[in-house]
Amino acid sequence: MQIGMVGLGKMGGNMAERLRRGGHEVVGYDHHREASDVGSLKELVDRLETPRAVWVMVPAGAPTQQTVDELGKLLSEGDVVIDGGNSHYVDDQKHAAELAEKGIRFVDCGVSGGVWGLQNGYALMCGGDDSVVQHMMPIFETLKPEGEDGFVHAGAVGAGHFAKMVHNGIEYGMMQSFAEGWELLEASDIVTDVKGCFSSWRTGTVIRSWLLDLLVRALDSDEHLEELRGYAQDSGEGRWTVQAAVDHAVPLPVITAALYARFASRQEDPPAMKVVAALRNQFGGHAIASAEGSVGMGADSPGADVTPPKVR
């Protein structure tokens, strides 16, 4: 099958290569000219036979919107646009409606697999009309892992990225649990082989997983993670998952806490903790650290001289 691939970064480039290895003809376009088969989106569209299929793998938000807008001007009735990036499911519904006015069909597809997808395949979560999804199945079959699992037609337009959003929210919680367990083991006085503990859990335990395998792999190269700074970005999907939970009145305490932990990781001197330190000093006379790094009781530390307010 012939397909255009827009966006040839770490994910898109490997996906294009997996499709080529599977016997498909891929015409790739990227802003970085050296990675492209063509020099523009127009040239990509001109190279494809009708009905055309174009897979978009660019960052969510404005880049995706701009790409969809331009494709809407270049493609024809009956062509297909697949958004495989990490778009918000609400944007999918907007894009599908815009393209439908011109007779262009739309599928949203959440993709998971990272840099390992070329070798292992990609888990795909699709949303869209059944006839369009079935039309694109040769592409999906090549991209997915071998076997029965790894692909789902999750529902109507938006369902694929909604499913991927929840997938990433679960990933946040799992990663945070491993991180907190690692920190506690490292802080222990009696556990001397933290890496060995995680490695031993890969067989026969209920927490064995690919994430656990990847953590052990990281510890193999840096046992105490001394070469890393404790800073973690978040994709938009973690935030969208929490927002969707609010919209649907579904409690997500673990995923929400994991998202907030990432926010905290970016603060060398968390402002909120200044308030906590000040209050501990005020009510208990606890030592506080100055901005210069010195530790003391504080110039106005009240000790036991402050009379607590009466409780009414």
Q: Is 42 a catalytic residue?
A: no
The answer to whether the CB of 118 falls within 8 A of the CB of 111 is no
Q: Which of 49, 70, 77, 164 is catalytic?
A: 164
* C-alpha 36, offset from chain centre: 25
Among residues 108, 220, 219, 223, the alpha carbon closest in space to that of 163 is found at: 108
Cα 204 from Cα 93, distance rounded (Å): 43
The catalytic residue among 34, 43, 171, 186 is 171
- Please report the DSSP string for 38-105 in residue order: SSSHHHHHHHSPSSPEEEE-S-TTHHHHHHHHHHHHH--TT-EEEE-S---HHHHHHHHHHHHTTT-E
Cα 224 to chain centroid, rounded:
25
Active site residue 226: no
CB neighbours of residue 264 within 10 Å: 12
Which regions of the chain does DSSP assign to beta strands (E)?
2-6, 25-29, 53-56, 80-83, 105-112, 123-127, 151-155, 288-289, 295-296
CB-CB neighbours of 110 under 10 Å: 29
Q: Retrieve residue 14's tokens.
A: 């490997």
Could you tell me if 84 and 74 are in contact, meaning their C-beta atoms sit under 8 angstroms apart?
no
Q: Which residues contact 117 (CB under 8 A, 6 or more apart)?
A: 11, 14, 15, 18, 111, 143
Which of 75, 107, 80 is CA-nearest to residue 92? Answer: 107
Strands 288-289, 295-296: pairing kind: antiparallel
DSSP secondary-structure letter at 33? G
Known catalytic residues?
Answer: 164, 171
